[in-house]
Amino acid sequence: IDDVCAGAEYLVKEGLADGDRLCIDGGSAGGYTTLGALAFRDVFKAGTSLYGIGDLTALAGDTHKFESRYLDGLVGQYPEEEDLYKERSPIESVDTLSCPILLLQGVEDKVVPPNQAEMMYNALLKKGIPTCLKLYEGEQHGFRKAENIQDAIDSELAFYGKVFGMDIPEAVELKVDNI
């Protein structure tokens, strides 16, 4: 999280990026990085999480068997270090979130179950933060269908257009809550 924030801040300092429209996106662990950067730092103005982790504690109990001990090496032993899981979970820091977030998720994802995106979406809705959740039928962890990959890219562009008040010609229809 610190690295992506430092990189973005450097680009702004060098005049290569607009600090008022700085966005972040990522999928899977990159989705966690996106949500973490938005929850724990004040660098980006909006973001998109594709099948990202918002609640490490829930993931520790929900992911499939192959990934079930993956977090032990990255975060700590669960449940012994549950406090660390909570501290590093973006959903536990919704109070520090203030920027729009698009959540894109495969319905059949067994690595990062859809409840991760749904919990984050509901928390953002409750706080009044502009947000949108798009669930993709027939998709697992990472989108594989060409039409869904294209829709995800188009939806992200439409989302940023709405958030920053930019006219995006032929933008896909996208309902952003709390905007």
Distances 161 to 17, 71, 93 between C-alpha atoms, Å: 17, 35, 26
- Please determine, for residue 117, whether its predicted confidence score (pLDDT) is greater than 90: yes
Kindly report, residue by residue over 50-96, the tens digit of the pLDDT: 999 998 888 776 654 445 566 655 666 767 777 877 887 899 999 99
- Can you read off the two tokens belonging to residue 161? 């257009």
Kindly report, residue by residue over 130-171, the tens digit of the pLDDT: 999 999 999 999 999 999 999 999 999 999 999 999 999 999
What value does the mean pLDDT take over residues 17-46? 96
Distances 13 to 17, 29, 127 between C-alpha atoms, Å: 8, 27, 31
Residue 82 pLDDT: 72
CA distance 162 to 179: 8
Question: What amino acid occupies position 77?
Answer: Q
Q: What is the DSSP string of 130-169?
A: -EEEEEETT-BSB--SHHHHHHHHHHHHHHHHHHHT---T
Residue 72 pLDDT: 56
Kindly report, residue by residue over 21-30, the tens digit of the pLDDT: 999 999 999 9
Residue 74 pLDDT: 67
Phi, psi of 55 (to 5 degrees): -135, 100
Taking the complete model, does pTM exceed 0.75, yes or no?
Answer: yes
CA nearest neighbour of 111 among 65, 143, 149: 65
Phi, psi of 99 (to 5 degrees): -120, 160
- Please determine, for residue 98, whether its predicted confidence score (pLDDT) is greater than 80: yes
